[in-house]
Amino acid sequence: MARIVVKFGGTSVATVERIRQAAAHVKREVDAGNEVAVVVSAMAGKTNELVGWVEEASPFHDAREYDAIVASGEQVTAGLMAIVLSHMGIESRSFAGWQVPIKTDDAHGAARITEIDPSELDKRMKARWVPVITGFQGVAPSGRITTLGRGGSDTSAVAVAAAVRADRCDIYTDVDGVYTTDPRIVPRARRLSKVSFEEMLEMASLGAKVLMIRSVEMAMAHGVRLCVRSTFDDAGAPQLAPDGTPGVPGTLVCDEEEIMEKQIVSGITLARGEAKITLRGVTDKPGVAASVFGTLADQNIVVDMIVQNISEDGGTTDITFTVPDSEYDKAIRAIEGARGTIAFERLSGSKGGAKISVIGVGMRSHAGVASSMFKALADKGINIQLITTSEIRTSVLIDDEYAELAVRALHTYYGLDKKDS
Amino acid sequence: MARIVVKFGGTSVATVERIRQAAAHVKREVDAGNEVAVVVSAMAGKTNELVGWVEEASPFHDAREYDAIVASGEQVTAGLMAIVLSHMGIESRSFAGWQVPIKTDDAHGAARITEIDPSELDKRMKARWVPVITGFQGVAPSGRITTLGRGGSDTSAVAVAAAVRADRCDIYTDVDGVYTTDPRIVPRARRLSKVSFEEMLEMASLGAKVLMIRSVEMAMAHGVRLCVRSTFDDAGAPQLAPDGTPGVPGTLVCDEEEIMEKQIVSGITLARGEAKITLRGVTDKPGVAASVFGTLADQNIVVDMIVQNISEDGGTTDITFTVPDSEYDKAIRAIEGARGTIAFERLSGSKGGAKISVIGVGMRSHAGVASSMFKALADKGINIQLITTSEIRTSVLIDDEYAELAVRALHTYYGLDKKDS
C-alpha cells in the first residue's frame, strides 16, 4: 500500500473522453490498495482561451482579476474528474485551491505556495476517498484566488504530495518518460528508468520540456519521488513499480542515492536559436561584468551562457554570452546604448547557434567527460564556439547546421543508444 | 445620487466586445454620481458548454460537482467586467459568490439565498468602487459552491440590491423592456414604462420571458424596484429616470402605488402548446381532485389551468386541466393507470391549445373585463374552450389556429396599440 498523488496535464484532460482515460489510471492505483489524491490542469486550450479574453479586455489588467478568471479552468476539470471517478464507483470530490486551502503569498500570476493544510485531504484519503484538487492555484492572505504561473500544476502536485507525505507523485503527461535525448532527433534515444533530481533539473532547464523546473526543485527540497508517465498508456496493462526494473512504464525522478548504477552520462540536450554576442577589448576592471549584464537585466533580457577569458595583457579582455535569437537585436541595442558606462572596443555577434549539453551525475566522479566530448565532436569536424560547465553538465555552443549530427554522435559515443530489440 | 445594482445577462456579456458595451452603461451611471454594483451571468453559451461536459462525464452526477463546474462561468465574466471597468478608469474588483459571501442553503443546483453579508460591498460602493459579483451562485454552509438554478442571476441581483438597500436594480438584457404583448405577433405592441410587481408576476409565468418569476417575487417581497433595459441601447444617449415619462428606455417594475394612472389592462400574453385533458363522469366526492392531481404530481407533471364545474346531478362532475403538449401522453397514461383510485367514466383530450391571458391590476376595480374579453373573441368567431381567472388576470384556452388573431384583437380592443409615430 502506498500513498500517491497523481497529476494530469492539459492534454491528458482535454476532453471528457480523455478524463475517463486518465481516471482509469487512478482506478488502477485505488484497486491496488493505494491511497490516491489527484491534481488536475485545465483542459488543453482552455487556459489560452481565458488568457485571450483577458488580453482583449485590457492589455493592462489587474493580476488579481487575471487569476480569478484563469483559475476557473482547473475548477471545471476537477469537477469533471470527480464525477467520472464517482461514476466508476470511486468516492471522490473536488477541491478548489481555496477550499483545501492551498495558501500562497499574494504575488498574483506567479504566487508561491506558503502552506497546505493537509488535514481534510488526509482524512479523505484514509477513508479511501479520492480528493481531486485544482492545480496551478491557491488563495492569498487577502482571500483572493492566486495562480502559480504557467506549468504551476506540476508544482501544486508536488506541494500536495509533500503536505500529505505521499510515497510518490505521478506526473501523467503526453510522453511516457524522460529520454536520454530528443527521440525526434535520435530515434534510438532510450527512456531512462531513473534519473536524479539534479540531472532532471539540468535537463528541464536545457530543453527537455517534460517537467517544470520549479516542480523538480520543490520535489528535491522535500524529497518527493516523481514518476513521469503517459496518460495514453493502457491503464489496464500489467504495471510494475517504477523501481528501475526493465519494462516499467515511465521514469522515476529521485535522489541520487536511489540510483544504484550511475551512468556517467544520462542525457544529451539540445537548445536551438541561441545568439552569441562578443565584446572585444573590454577594459578589465572590477565591476565591468556587472555593468554588461546589469544593462541586459534592466531590459529583461535573459542571458544563458557567459564566458570571460583571463585578459592577455592585463589591460583588456573579451566577454561572450548568449541570448535567445529573438532578443539578439534588443541586446545589441542595449549594449551599444551603454557605451558610456561600458568601455569596449568592438561588438560582434551572430544568431543561430545551438547549445549541446552532456549531463550526468557520474561526471562528479569521472574525470575526462568534457575532454572526451570535445574529441567526439572534433572527430566529426564540428567546431566548438563556446564552452561552459557545471558540476554535472558540460555545454558547448556550435553552428546550428551541426546540431543533429552532434547530438547523435554524442548519444552513440556515451553508449546511450537503445539496443536492437 | 442613487444606489443601483445592475445586472447583465448572458447575451449582454457574450464576448469581450459586448462586455465593453455593457460597461459603458455602468460608466454612465457612475459618472452621474451613482453608487453602482454589478451582477453578471456567464457568457452566452458557456453554461451550456459546461453542462454538456457534466452530462457527458456521467448522467448521474453529484450536484455539488455540477455546481462547482457550472459556477466557473460567472467567475470568468466577473473578472473580465472588472478588468474592462478598471480600463475605463473605474475602480473595480470581482467577487465570487463565496467571497462576498452570498450564503445559501445546501440545495445544490437549486439553492436558495439565505443571507448576504453587505459589509464589504457597502464599503466598496461608498468608496466609489464598483464591485462585480458573480450571479447565479453562492456558498453552502459546508463551504461548497452552490448554484441557484437557471436564470438565477436575476435572483442574485435582486438579493444583492436588497442587501445593500439599493434604490433600484437594473436588469440589462437583449430586449428594451416589458411589452404589452409579444411584438413578433403584434407589431404595434407598446413598451410599458411601468408595470406592477403583480402584473409582472402574471406576465412572467404566462410566457413573457423577460424576467425570471423568482426574481420578481423576491423584488416584490423586499420592495426592490426593478428596471428592465437593453444593453444594446446606446449608453451615451440622453437618459431619463425611468419614472414613466415618455421616451424613457426600459420598463420599471414597481409597487402598484407608484403607478399613478393604472391601465385596466396592461398586457396580453400567449402560451402555446397547451394540451387539455378532460375526465368526464367523475364521482363527485371530497378528495377526488386531490387524487387526480396527486397522481400527476407524483409523475412530476406540471398542471397549468384547472377547471371543475359544479356537478349537475350532484353525483358526478367533469374535471378539465391543461399540461404542456410534451407531457400529454405521460399524463394520459398516469390517469389511466390510476383508474383504481380515481372513479371516472371517460377520459378525453387533445394537444395544441393556446392560452391567452389579459392582465392588469385595474381589473380589481373595473368590473366587466372578463365579459368584454369573451365578447371581443366572440366577435372574431373564436370559440373559448376553458376559462380561468385570478384577481388581476383572465385566461382562456382556444384553438392554436386562432392564437395570433386573438392576441391582436384583444390588444386593439383594450387600447394597447402603439399610436402612429
- pLDDT tens-digit profile of A110-169? 999 999 999 999 999 999 999 999 999 999 999 999 999 767 899 999 999 999 999 999
pLDDT of residue B314: 66
Domain assignment of residue B420, yes or no: no
Task: Name the average pLDDT for chain A.
Answer: 90
Domain assignment of residue A418, yes or no: no
Domain assignment of residue A419, yes or no: no
C-beta of residue B219 within 8 angstroms of C-beta of residue B228: no
pLDDT of residue A207: 63
How does DSSP assign A221-279, residue by residue?
Answer: HHT--EEEEETTS-TTS----SSS-TT-SSEEEE-GGG-SS--S--EEEEEEEEEEEEE
Question: Which residues of chain A are within 8 Å of residue B109 when distances are taken between CB atoms?
Answer: none
Answer whether B56 sits within 8 Å of A16, measured CB to CB: yes
pLDDT of B209 higher than 90: no
Residue A247's pLDDT band (cuts 50, 70, 90): very low
Q: Does A56 touch chain B (CB under 8 A)?
A: yes
CATH number assigned to the domain comprising residue A343: 3.30.2130.10
Domain assignment of residue B419, yes or no: no
What is the least distance, in Å, from the CA of A64 to any CA of chain B?
9
Task: Name the average pLDDT for chain B.
Answer: 90
- Whether omega for the bond prior to residue B101 falls within 30 degrees of 0, making it cis, is yes
pLDDT of B222 higher than 70: yes
Segment among A383-392, B39-48, B139-148, B321-330 with least mean pLDDT: A383-392
pLDDT of residue A239: 62
Last residue of a domain, one of B221, B241, B258: B258
What is the least distance, in Å, from the CA of A75 to any CA of chain B?
6
The ipTM value here is: 0.80
Question: Which residues of chain B are within 8 Å of residue A20 when distances are taken between CB atoms?
Answer: 57
Q: Report the distance separating Cα A15 and Cα B53, nearest Å.
A: 8
Percentage of chain B beyond pLDDT 70 is 94
The pLDDT tens digits for B246-266 are: 445 789 999 988 887 777 899
Whether residue A127 is found in the same domain as residue A198: yes
* Sequence-distant (≥ 6) Cβ neighbours of residue B256 within 8 angstroms: B196, B197, B198, B262, B361
Last residue of a domain, one of B231, B258, B285: B258
Whether residue B142 is found in the same domain as residue B112: yes
Question: Which residues of chain B are within 8 Å of residue A21 when distances are taken between CB atoms?
Answer: none
Question: Which residues of chain B are within 8 Å of residue A72 when distances are taken between CB atoms?
Answer: 72-73, 75-76
Whether residue A104 is found in the same domain as residue A132: yes
pLDDT of A302 higher than 90: no
Residue A369's pLDDT band (cuts 50, 70, 90): confident
Answer whether B83 sits within 8 Å of A58, measured CB to CB: yes
Answer whether B93 sits within 8 Å of A64, measured CB to CB: yes
Nearest to B253 by CA among B213, B219, B212: B219
* A to B CB pairs, distance under 8 Å: 109
**Nearest Cβ partner for A83 among B65, B73, B96:** B65
Q: Which of A44-53, B386-395, B411-420 has the highest average model confidence (pLDDT)?
A: A44-53
What is the least distance, in Å, from the CA of B275 to any CA of chain A?
38
Whether residue A291 is found in the same domain as residue A308: yes
The pLDDT tens digits for B128-145 are: 999 999 999 999 999 999
Segments forming the whole domain that contains residue A385: 267-413
Mean pLDDT of B270-291: 88
Q: Coil, strand, or helix at residue B312?
A: coil
Q: Report the distance separating Cα B26 and Cα B90, nearest Å.
A: 9
Domain assignment of residue A331, yes or no: yes
Mean pLDDT of A337-342: 86
Chain A (134-173) residues lying within 8 Å, Cβ to Cβ, of chain B: 143-145
Answer whether B16 sits within 8 Å of A57, measured CB to CB: yes
pLDDT of B191 higher than 50: yes
Whether residue B373 is found in the same domain as residue B237: no
pLDDT of residue A420: 63
What is the least distance, in Å, from the CA of B61 to any CA of chain A?
6
Segment among A183-197, B11-25, B397-411 with least mean pLDDT: A183-197
Whether residue A239 is found in the same domain as residue A307: no
Residue A246's pLDDT band (cuts 50, 70, 90): very low
The helix (H) or strand (E) run that includes residue B388 is: strand B386-390
Answer whether A86 sits within 8 Å of B58, measured CB to CB: yes
The pLDDT tens digits for A348-367 are: 999 999 999 999 988 887 77
Whether residue A47 is found in the same domain as residue A158: yes
Query: Which site among B76, B77, B119, B136 would you substitute to test the A interface, given the most A Cβ atoms closer than 10 Å to its Cβ?
Result: B76
Q: What's the one-letter identity of residue A59?
A: P
Residue B241's pLDDT band (cuts 50, 70, 90): low
Chain B (99-118) residues lying within 8 Å, Cβ to Cβ, of chain A: 99
pLDDT of residue B348: 93
Question: Which residues of chain A are within 8 Å of residue B145 when distances are taken between CB atoms?
Answer: 96
- Whether omega for the bond prior to residue A101 falls within 30 degrees of 0, making it cis, is yes
- Burial-class residue B119 by CB neighbours within 10 Å (0-12, 13-18, 19+): exposed
- Closest chain A residue to B43, measured at CA: A53
Q: Report the distance separating Cα B292 and Cα B319, nearest Å.
A: 9
Whether residue B230 is found in the same domain as residue B340: no
Q: How many domains does chain A have?
A: 2
* Sequence-distant (≥ 6) Cβ neighbours of residue B97 within 8 angstroms: B71, B133, B134, B137, B138, B139, B145, B146, B156
Whether residue B240 is found in the same domain as residue B166: yes
pLDDT of residue B322: 93
Last residue of a domain, one of A258, A275, A308: A258
Residue B196's pLDDT band (cuts 50, 70, 90): very high
Domain assignment of residue B152, yes or no: yes
pLDDT of residue B276: 94
Answer whether A87 sits within 8 Å of B61, measured CB to CB: yes
The pLDDT tens digits for A316-328 are: 888 999 999 999 9
Between residues A302 and B57, the one the model is more confident about: B57
To the nearest 5 percent, what fractions of chain A are helix, strand and coil?
35, 25, 40
Q: How many other CB atoms sit within 10 Å of the CB of residue A196?
A: 24
Q: Does B62 touch chain A (CB under 8 A)?
A: yes
Domain assignment of residue B51, yes or no: yes
Whether residue B111 is found in the same domain as residue B209: yes
Domain assignment of residue B309, yes or no: yes
Whether residue B239 is found in the same domain as residue B272: no
Q: What's the one-letter identity of residue B135?
A: G
Q: Which of A249-258, A312-321, B166-175 has the highest average model confidence (pLDDT)?
A: B166-175
Q: Does A365 touch chain B (CB under 8 A)?
A: no
pLDDT of residue B208: 62
The pLDDT tens digits for A232-241 are: 887 776 665 5
Segment among A81-95, A201-215, A280-294 with least mean pLDDT: A201-215
Residue B376 per-residue DSSP state: H
- Alpha helices, H only, B186-311: 197-205, 213-222, 288-298
Q: Does B68 touch chain A (CB under 8 A)?
A: yes
pLDDT of B309 higher than 80: no
CATH number assigned to the domain comprising residue A43: 3.40.1160.10
Question: Which residues of chain B are within 8 Å of residue A50 when distances are taken between CB atoms?
Answer: 76
Q: Does B19 touch chain A (CB under 8 A)?
A: yes
pLDDT of residue A370: 85
Whether residue B286 is found in the same domain as residue B239: no
